[in-house]
Amino acid sequence: MAHSGSASGADRFKALYNLLSALSRARVLEDLYDAALSSLMEVTAADRAAILLFDEDGVIRFKASRGLSERYRAAVEGHSPWPRGASDAPALVVPDVLAHADLAPFHDALREEGIRVAVFVPLALDAGVFGKFMLYYDTPHPFTEDELEVATAIAAHVAMATERKRAELERARSEQRLRTILDNSATVIFLKDLEGRYQLINRRHEELFHIPEQQMVGRTDFDIFPAVVAEQFRANDLAVIEAGQALAMEETVPQDDGIHSYISVKFPLQGPDGRATGVCGIATDITERKQLEDASRHLAAIVESSDDAIIGKNLRGIITSWNRGAERVFGYTAEEVVGGPVSILAAPDRIDEMPRILAEIAQGRRVDHIETRRRRKDGQIIDVSLTVSPVRDGAGRIVGASKIARDISERKHSEQERALLLAREHEARRTAEQLHAVAPRLAAQLDMRKLVQEVTDIATALVGAEFGAFFHNLRNEKGESYMLYTLSGVPMEAFAHFPMPRNTEVFAPTFRGEGVVRLDDVRLDPRYGRNAPHHGIPEGHLPVRSYLAVPVISRTGEVLGGLFFGHSTPGRFTASHEAIVTGIAAQAAISMDNAHLFEQAQRAQAELKRSNEELRRANQDLEVFAYSASHDLQEPLRTIALSAQIIERNYGKQLDEKDAVFLANILTASRRMGVLIQDLLAYARAAKSEEGPAPRVDSAAVVSRVLESMTASIEEAGAIVTADDLPAVAMHEGRLTQLFQNLISNAIKYRDKEAPRVHIAARSGDGCWIFSVTDNGIGIEPQYAEQIFGLFKRLHGREEYPGSGIGLAICQRVVEQYGGRIWLEESVPGRGSTFCFSVPCDSVR
Ligand code: ADP
């Protein structure tokens, strides 16, 4: 049985054992082929061997060979005695390859390679032939049944091992592929068993939750997520197992950057028996999409709740969206207008505006905040502010426009109102400024006649009247009121023929002080034209249409007059003119009051001056009279006295007793009268002012001269007269002498029982020198302190103390001429008196 060169049975067994162990150790197919060829050559003593397998394309190719040339392999590759997949393919032994007709195409190659015998051993499994073993002998070789059997057995093992290995590699490859897919997937993929223990996670899962797969396997969601999250997952997993089919569910999970939302497609994993073994999940992060959704929902809500009209339209001007604001602003509901042309909103005067805007939009330009007008459903035209922006599709093409329209009618209205208010404010300010400019001029004008003219002129100019008149009441000295008028804009003659404004319904309110009358057209006023004889404006009167009349009322409420303005065209006088004239009228009233007071004051002053003058003249007359009378009276008095003395001397002894008394009376009376006349003359002289400025005079010297002249009476009375240091004063010497003469002689004359003591002193005070003459005489009752200075005023009978009551009156007149005064400073009856007089220090006449 054993053939020379062939292995024995034991060797064969050993070879097979080696082959099996090699096969089981083989890590790659090449190892496997190598082991197979070694075993084959060992047990069959073949010179060469090869293993060829069908590739996917159905062509059989060398996978391993021993001892074959490249050239040969290339020549025979692709040849197989059996088609791929053939079942029950027999091994084929070709004892002489060159004699075998089927191999004819390869004879050259075989010859060249030096091959004589070839054995084809199929490699087959259930699916049929998938390859072959080739054994080659260079010399004729009786290939035995035994050898064939062993070769076939080896082929069967190798076929099985090859297939197993290939399947194993295939599985590993597909697993690798799957893994690659899993790990490169942007979605999170995982497998869990029925208890929720992870069995597999992909790389995305690892990345997101920072746990590598090895650590993750065997752990559950409760190990890695907060309980509330894990519970959610678990409940969903169980629902999937319960349902027995794939379910899509939304799940949320915390990640590094916050909570993420996932759409998880979960399906049950099934074992071979169809029972669930776990859950597979494929979770896609939809956070961004959700955010976008939220954002767009938010946006939609904003659009919907906006007060502005937000309208979508395509480039053909067809409305595509219409929010509630649009309903409110334009009055149409979305159902009414969506799908219809936006041109229904066009205001009649702006029909061509919309196509222009669409043209801009088509160019990709935005139309920003234009203010225009649109028409509402109810036909009302409203002011709107428009912003129109292009809308682009995903590819950036402009497909339409979104338009935001804001109803600005109200704003426009308030803008207009504001403009009006501003204008009014401006007017008011102008009025105030004008009045401000006018007021000082009027206030400064105290001449009533000029004042009323100025008021009329200013007011007429400021209101732009063609003419103005100021009818004003005046009062004459007797307090009787009468009316005058001034005119502006026309000569006085224009009014000369017309009577004063009559008490008509148009004029009267002004003179009654009832307020302003402003008429755009006086002829249209119901009060106009009712009075005879003219029934309106008299013939020849200036034409008046615009009429403005403002009363001028004094502080005391007395209507001082009325300002009247006229213009021959209607509607000339405005509210601001009214304000101006009202202001001027108020100012005029004040100024007129002032002018009036000024006039009164002027008049009072003039009156005072006049009566002073009268008084002065009367005084002068009196002085002249007193002087001339006393002077003229002296002459006849002297004649009487002389005649009486002659009668006494010549006939004194012949007269009887009665006649002698009469004669004595004549003599006494004429003597007294002489004294009286002297005194009167002195008084009259005292009233006459001295000529020229008062010289400075030494009062001490004056006093001593006076005392010298009085030596006789001083000695006779046994009087002692003393004096302090006396100052020099500005006074005419004669006057000062008069003063001291009167005061010192009174001090001696009105002595009591004791010898008289007289003291003269001077003190300065209050800008003047005050001289005092003090005596120890009879004194004066206080109630007579003033009276004693009156002309002819005496407190005693002539028998008691001689005198005419003129001395103190003269003193008073003298000091008053020098701006001083005289008074009884102190007097106690029975104890004495002190008389004082003052002379201003800088006294000049
Ligand atoms: P006559 O001395 O001529 O009467 P006077 O004008 O000098 O007039 O004085 C007025 C009156 O004042 C006197 O009559 C007298 O009663 C009173 N009288 C003036 N001086 C004194 C004095 N020194 N003491 C008291 N009585 C005086």
The pLDDT tens digits for 515-554 are: 888 989 888 888 777 776 666 676 667 788 899 999 998 8
Residue 498's pLDDT is what? Answer: 62
pLDDT at 571 over 80: yes
Residues whose CB is less than 8 angstroms from the CB of residue 473 and which lie 6 or more positions away in sequence, other chains included: 481, 482, 483, 559, 560, 561
**What would the two tokens of residue 680 be?**
């009167």
> Which residues does a 6 A CB cutoff place in the pocket of ligand 1?
742, 746-747, 750, 775, 777-778, 780, 788, 793-796, 803-809, 833
Residue 762's pLDDT is what? Answer: 95
The protein residue whose alpha carbon is closest to atom 14 in ligand 1 is 794
User: Lowest mean pLDDT: which of 43-57, 322-336, 376-390, 539-553?
Assistant: 539-553
Q: What is the mean pLDDT of the chain?
A: 87
The protein residue whose alpha carbon is closest to atom 12 in ligand 1 is 788
Question: Which candidate, 601, 564, 586, 363, places its Cα nearest to that of 456?
Answer: 564
What do you get for the CA distance between the two ends of the chain, in Å?
Answer: 193
Q: Which atom of ligand 1 is nearest to the CA of 775?
A: 23
pLDDT at 496 over 70: no
Residue 108's pLDDT is what? Answer: 92
What DSSP designation does 735 have?
A: H
Split at pLDDT 50, 70, 90, the class of 749 is: very high
The pLDDT tens digits for 83-141 are: 999 998 899 999 999 999 889 999 999 999 999 999 999 999 888 999 999 999 999 88
The pLDDT tens digits for 626-650 are: 777 777 788 888 888 888 889 888 9
pLDDT at 556 over 90: no
The pLDDT tens digits for 225-244 are: 999 999 999 999 999 999 99
Q: How far is the CA of 725 from the centre of ligand 1 (A)?
A: 26
**Mean pLDDT score, 491-514:** 72
Q: Which atom of ligand 1 is nearest to the CA of 747?
A: 23
Q: How far, in Å, CA of 438 to CA of 582, rounded?
A: 13
**Mean pLDDT score, 561-572:** 90
**Highest mean pLDDT, choosing among 423-437, 464-478, 690-704:** 690-704
User: Lowest mean pLDDT: which of 250-259, 490-499, 772-781?
Assistant: 490-499
Give percent of the chain above pLDDT 90: 36
Q: Are 98 and 90 in contact (CB under 8 A)?
A: no
Ligand 1 pocket: which of 677, 742, 754, 794 to mutate (most atoms <8 Å of CB)? 794
pLDDT at 7 over 60: no
Give percent of the chain above pLDDT 70: 95
Residue 6's pLDDT is what? Answer: 53
The pLDDT tens digits for 256-269 are: 888 888 999 999 99
Q: What angle do CA 44, 34, 72 make, to 5 degrees?
A: 75
User: Lowest mean pLDDT: which of 162-166, 206-210, 839-843?
Assistant: 839-843
pLDDT at 722 over 90: yes
The pLDDT tens digits for 594-618 are: 888 888 888 889 999 998 888 888 8
Q: How far is the CA of 808 from the centre of ligand 1 (A)?
A: 7
Q: How far is the CA of 708 from the centre of ligand 1 (A)?
A: 22
Residue 844's pLDDT is what? Answer: 41
Q: How far is the CA of 627 from the centre of ligand 1 (A)?
A: 23
Split at pLDDT 50, 70, 90, the class of 497 is: low
pLDDT at 217 over 60: yes
The whole-model pTM stands at 0.38
Q: Are 837 and 822 in contact (CB under 8 A)?
A: yes
Residue 721's pLDDT is what? Answer: 95
Question: Which candidate, 152, 118, 113, places its Cα nearest to that of 137?
Answer: 118
The pLDDT tens digits for 783-820 are: 999 999 988 888 888 788 888 888 999 999 899 888 89
Q: Are 472 and 457 in contact (CB under 8 A)?
A: no
pLDDT at 60 over 80: yes
Q: Which atom of ligand 1 is nearest to the CA of 795?
A: 16
354-360 contacts: CB < 8 A, separation 24 or more?
Answer: 354/317, 355/317, 357/386, 357/388, 357/401, 358/315, 358/317, 358/401, 360/388
The protein residue whose alpha carbon is closest to atom 7 in ligand 1 is 807
Q: How far, in Å, CA of 388 to CA of 360, rounded?
A: 9
Query: 280 by DSSP, 3-state: which?
Result: strand
A 10 A CB-CB count for 388 gives 23
Q: How far is the CA of 794 from the centre of ligand 1 (A)?
A: 6
Residue 112's pLDDT is what? Answer: 93
Residues whose CB is less than 8 angstroms from the CB of residue 369 and which lie 6 or more positions away in sequence, other chains included: 385, 386, 387
